[in-house]
Structure 1
Amino acid sequence: MFLDILAILVALGLLMFVAYRGYPVIIFAPIFALLAASLSGLALMPSYTESFMLQAANYVKSFFPIFLLGAIFGKVMEMNGAAASIAHGIVRSLGSKRAILAVVLACGILTYGGVSLFVVAFAVYPFAAAIFREADIPKRLLPGTIALGAFTFTMDALPGTPQIQNIIPTNFFGTDAYAAPFVGIIGGLLVLLGGLYWLERRRRQAAAAGEGYGENHRNEPDAVQSTGFPKLWVALLPLLVVLVLNYVLSRTGAAADKWYDAETLKKTFNIPNVKTVVSSWALIAALTAGIITALLINARAVKGKLAGGLSAAAAGALLAIFNTASEVGFGNVIKTLPGFAGIRDAILGASNHPLISEALAVNVLAGITGSASGGLSIALDVMGKQYLALANASGLSPELLHRIASMASGGMDTLPHNGAVITLLAITGLTHRQSYKDIFAITVVKTITVFLLAAVLSVIY
C-alpha cells in the first residue's frame, strides 16, 4: 500500500512542480497520470482513453458553455469600457484614504456580476495602481488586494455568484447557485473583514516604516483616461441583468426546471434529475442576456473590435477549460489506482461529519492541482455521492454541502503554482518574493473561515 500511495504522491508532486515552473498542465497532466498508473501496475492505454479522456470530455461537456459565455461577457465588458467605468467610479468615489477598500469592492462587484477573474484583474489594475500611488501605499500590497476582491468571497461564498466554482456543486447535489445563502453571506463577510484587517495592518506597518508606493516598478500602467466610458449606472446594467435573470431562472416560477417535461428529458436526453443541470441552463441564459446588454450599452466602442475580441475570448475559454479538464482527467486516473483507497479513507476518516471531511478533501485537492474548479470537480466526482449519502442519513441539507465545498475550493487553491496567481503577478509587474506573502495570508483567512463554518455547522447539525 505504501508504494501505491507513493506513486500517487510522486505524480502529484511532479504536476505541482511543472505547473509552478509555468509548463502547460494540459500536456503534463496526462503524462503524470499515466506515470502513476504505470507505477501502480495499471494498463496505460485504457487508463488514458477510458479514464483520463472520458472524464476530461465529460467536464468539457458540462461546463464549456459557461466558460465560453463568461469569457465573452468579460471581454465585451472590457471592450465597451463598462468594466473600466465601474472600477474607476468606485475607486474615485471612495478616494485614496480608502484605497484598499475601493479596489476590493471594485473587484468584488465585477466578479459577482459575472466578469471572469482574469478580466477583472486587467480592468482594475490601472485604476488600482493610480490610487495606490496617490495614497502612497506600497505597490507590493496590490496583488493581495485584488486577490481579496476577485478570488475569494464573490467567487464562491456569496449566494448567486455566477463563477464556475459556485456552479460545479449543483451537478453533484441537485442544488442551485443560491444554496445556503445565510452561510454564504456570513462566510463572505468573515473573509472580507479578515482580509481587509490584514491588508490595512500591512499598510500601517509600511507607513510606520516610511515605505511608500516605490519607484522603478515593472509594467506600470499609463495615466488612466476616463473619457469615453459609459456612465456608472449604465455600466452596471449588464451585471444586474446577469444577476437578476440568474435568480429568476433558478428560484421563481419561471425557473429553468419547468421549461421541459421531466419524462421527455429522462427518455430522450438521459437526464434523470433536471435539478443537476438547471443551474447551468439558468446561467447560460443569464450570461447570454448579459452579453447582449453589454453590446447595446456602448455599441460604438465595440464596433470594429468585436471579431478580434470574440476570437480572444474563445481562445481564452478553450485554454482555461482544457487546462482544468486535464486536471480533472488526472484526478479520474488517480482515483482508479489502488493507493487512492488509502488516501480517500484517510480523508473520510479525518472527521465523522461530512462537512468537515468535504472541506478537507476539496481544500487539499484544490491546493494540489492549483485550481479551485479542478480540485472541486475531482473531490466531488470521487466522494460527492458518499458525502450526499452521509448528509441524507443525518438530515443535513445538500445546500450546506454545496456551500462548504464551493468555499473550500477557493482556499488553498492559491498556492504559488496557481495560474490566476501567476497571471495576477505578471499583470502587476511584481514577483512572488515581493507580493505572495499577502496573497497567501488571504488564502489562510479563507481556509480558516471555511473550516470554522464547517466546525460550527457540524455542532449545529
Structure 2
Amino acid sequence: MEVLIILLALGLLMYGAYKGISVIILAPLCAMLAVILVAPYNTLPFFSEIFMSRMGDFIKQYFPIFILGAIFGKLIELSGISQIISKSIVRLIGEKRSILAIVLLCVILVYSGVSSFVVVFAVYPFAVALFKASEIPKRLIPATVVLGAFGFAVNSLPGSPQIQNVIPTSFFGTDIYAAPILGILNSLGILTLGVIYLQSRANKAKKSGEGFFSKLNEEQISETHEIISKMQKEKDQKDKLYRIFIAFIPLLLVAISNKLFTTYLPTWYPNGFDFASIGLNAYGQLNIYDVVGTWSVILALAIGIFATILFNPKGILSELKTGINQSIRGSLLAVTNTAAEFGFGGVIAALPGFTIVTAGIAQVFSNPLINSAVTTTTLAGMTGSAAGGLGITLGALSDTYIAMANQANIPMEVMHRIISMSSGALDTLPHNGGVITILAITGLTHKQSYKDIFGITLIMTTVCFIIIVIYLITGWV
C-alpha cells in the first residue's frame, strides 16, 4: 500500500506537469497528499520540517547560479554575441550540415553557462533559417535543439556549469570536472548517434518529398515566414574577423575562470572556513569541497557577465534594466520549480514506501552505478526534470550510494558523472518542462515533433548505460 501511495503522488505530479500546472503548486500538494494517506497526523510537521527545509536548502545552494546564468544568457543576446557566434558556426560548418551546426551552436552556448531554456530562444531563429535553406522539415527542429541543449552539454561534458553537473558536487565532494574521460565518451556517443539519427530522418523525409513547410498548418507557416524574412536581413550583415574573435572571449572566460577557481579555491581555504575564528560559533565549520562547485560557477559567470557588458556596452545598457528584469523573473520561476521538486523528493524519501522501493531496486541492481542510474533516470522521467530527479535521488540516497561505492571501490568522481548523465536520459518525456517550452517556442505540437525527441531520449539513455559498462570493463575515469 505504501508503494502505491508513492506511485500515486509521482503519477499526479507527472500528469499535472504534463497538463501545464505549475510544479510550485503541484509538488507540495502531491507530497502532502502522500503523507495524509500514510499518516495524517504527520502532515504539518512534514510540510514545515521536511518539504520547506529541503526546498530552502536547494535555493540557498543554487539560487545564485540560476540568477547569474539567466542574466548572462540575456546579455549574450542583447550584446549581439549569440548572433555573431551563430553566423560564424554556420559559415564554418556549412549550411548543408544544418543539423550539426544547430547542435554545436546549442552546445557552445550551454557549455558557456547560458541556461538551456535561454538557448532555445536564442537558437530557434537560426534553426528556422538553416532548415528552410536545406529543406529539412521544421518538425525536426525540436529534436535537434534537445540534442544540443539538453542532450549532453548540460551533464556530460566535464566543466559544464549547468545545474545538473553542479548538484552532485555538494553531495560527493567532487568538482564539475569529475570523470572527464567518461563524460567525453558519453558526449561523443550521444552527439554521433544523435546527429546520425536526425540526419537519417531528414534524408528519409527528403526522399518522400517532404519539405520544410510540409505538415504545417497556416498559422505555423505564417509565423515561420516572419522569422525567415528577419533572418535573411541579418544574414547580409557581415561581421569582421576581429569582432568574431572578441565575441567568443566572454564564453572562453567563463570556461577558463571556472577551471581556475575549481583548482585554486581549495588552496585558498585549505582547512575550510571556521566561523568560530571570527566569533560566529553558531555557524560552525565550512567544508570547502561542499561549496567549491557552486562558488566556482558563480565567480565564473560574474566574470562572463562583466566581459559581455564590455563587448557592447552601448547595445546592452540601453536595454539593461528590461533585460535583467526579464531574466530574473525567468530564473526565479526555474529555481523555485526545481526547489519544489527537491522538497517533494525529501517528503517521498521520508515515507515508508520509499524504503521498500529502493530496497527492491537494490535487489535487482546491486551494482551502485547501475542502481543509481536506474533510480535517477526513473525519477527524472517521472518528475519531468533532470534536476528534480537528481534532487530526489541524492537528497534521499546519497549516503547510501557513497557507502555502496566505497565498498565497491568506485571513485566518487565516477558516481558524480554517472548520476549526472543519467538525470538527462529519460527526463525528456512528454511532460518535461524543456520539451513543452521547445514545442511552445517553435509553434509545433507533440504529435508533430515528439516522435523524434523520444528517439533522442532513447539514444541518451542507451549511451549512458554503455558508458557504465565501459567503466566496469576498463576502469577509465
Q: 1:237 aligns with which of 244, 249, 257?
A: 249
The one-letter code sitting in structure 1 at the alignment partner of 2:419 is A
The one-letter code sitting in structure 2 at the alignment partner of 1:264 is F
1:156 pairs with 2:165: no
Aligned residue for 1:414, secondary structure, equals: coil
Structure-1 separation of matches of 2:440 and 2:158: 30
Aligned match of 1:340: 354
TM-score, length of structure 2 as denominator length:
0.93
Structure-2 separation of matches of 1:306 and 1:340: 47
Structure-2 separation of matches of 1:420 and 1:172: 25
1:369 pairs with 2:383: yes
**Cα pair distance change 1:285/1:18, threshold 3 Å:** same
* 1:44-443 correspondence to structure 2 within 5 Å: 44-214=43-213, 216=218, 217=220, 219-220=223-224, 221=227, 222-224=229-231, 225-226=234-235, 227=237, 231-251=243-263, 255-260=264-269, 262=271, 264-265=273-274, 267=276, 268=280, 269-443=283-457
**Cα pair distance change 1:188/1:266, threshold 3 Å:** farther
Alpha-carbon distance, 1:229 to partner: 7.1
Show CA shifts across 1:230-253 (max 9, x none): 8322221111000000011112xx
- Please identify, of 160-169 and 258-267, the stretch whose mean Cα deviation from structure 2 is larger: 258-267
Structure-2 separation of matches of 1:119 and 1:84: 14
Q: Is the 8 A contact 1:78 1:119 kept in 2?
A: no
Aligned residue for 2:427, secondary structure, equals: helix
Show CA shifts across 1:192-219 (max 9, x none): 0010111011011101101110164254
Q: Is the 8 A contact 1:328 1:378 kept in 2?
A: yes
Aligned match of 2:462: 448
The one-letter code sitting in structure 2 at the alignment partner of 1:415 is L
Structure-2 separation of matches of 1:116 and 1:85: 18
Structure-1 separation of matches of 2:25 and 2:12: 13
Q: Is the 8 A contact 1:367 1:415 kept in 2?
A: yes
The one-letter code sitting in structure 2 at the alignment partner of 1:78 is E
Alpha-carbon distance, 1:41 to partner: 1.4
Alpha-carbon distance, 1:290 to partner: 0.3
Structure-1 separation of matches of 2:101 and 2:272: 50
Aligned residues: 456
Structure-2 separation of matches of 1:37 and 1:409: 26
Q: Is the 8 A contact 1:81 1:229 kept in 2?
A: no
**Cα pair distance change 1:264/1:98, threshold 3 Å:** closer
Structure-2 separation of matches of 1:87 and 1:345: 48
Alpha-carbon distance, 1:348 to partner: 2.1
Structure-2 separation of matches of 1:446 and 1:271: 40
Alpha-carbon distance, 1:272 to partner: 4.7
Structure 1: which 5+ residue stretches go unaligned? none
Show CA shifts across 1:414-450 (max 9, x none): 1111111111111111111101111111111011111
Structure-1 separation of matches of 2:196 and 2:430: 22
Q: Is the 8 A contact 1:356 1:458 kept in 2?
A: no
Q: Is the 8 A contact 1:87 1:107 kept in 2?
A: no
Q: Is the 8 A contact 2:272 2:285 kept in 1?
A: no
Q: Is the 8 A contact 2:424 2:460 kept in 1?
A: yes
Aligned residue for 1:212, secondary structure, equals: coil
Q: Is the 8 A contact 1:257 1:278 kept in 2?
A: yes
Structure-2 separation of matches of 1:350 and 1:315: 43
Show CA shifts across 1:16-49 (max 9, x none): 1110011101011101110000111142111111
- Please identify, of 390-399 and 184-193, the stretch whose mean Cα deviation from structure 2 is larger: 390-399
Alpha-carbon distance, 1:9 to partner: 0.8
The one-letter code sitting in structure 2 at the alignment partner of 1:85 is I
- Please identify, of 42-51 and 189-198, the stretch whose mean Cα deviation from structure 2 is larger: 42-51
- Please identify, of 37-46 and 402-411, the stretch whose mean Cα deviation from structure 2 is larger: 37-46
Show CA shifts across 1:356-409 (max 9, x none): 111111101100110111111110111111111111222211100010011001
Aligned match of 1:17: 15
TM-score, length of structure 1 as denominator length:
0.96
Structure-1 separation of matches of 2:387 and 2:404: 23
Structure-2 separation of matches of 1:347 and 1:314: 40
- Please identify, of 223-232 and 379-388, the stretch whose mean Cα deviation from structure 2 is larger: 223-232
Structure 2: which 5+ residue stretches go unaligned? none
Q: Is the 8 A contact 2:51 2:346 kept in 1?
A: yes
Structure-2 separation of matches of 1:79 and 1:115: 13
Structure-2 separation of matches of 1:257 and 1:279: 11
Structure-1 separation of matches of 2:246 and 2:442: 28
Show CA shifts across 1:88-141 (max 9, x none): 221233222111111111111111111111111111111110010011010001
Q: Is the 8 A contact 1:82 1:229 kept in 2?
A: no
Q: Is the 8 A contact 2:32 2:47 kept in 1?
A: yes
RMSD: 1.6
Q: Is the 8 A contact 1:81 1:228 kept in 2?
A: no
Aligned match of 1:40: 38
Alpha-carbon distance, 1:72 to partner: 0.6
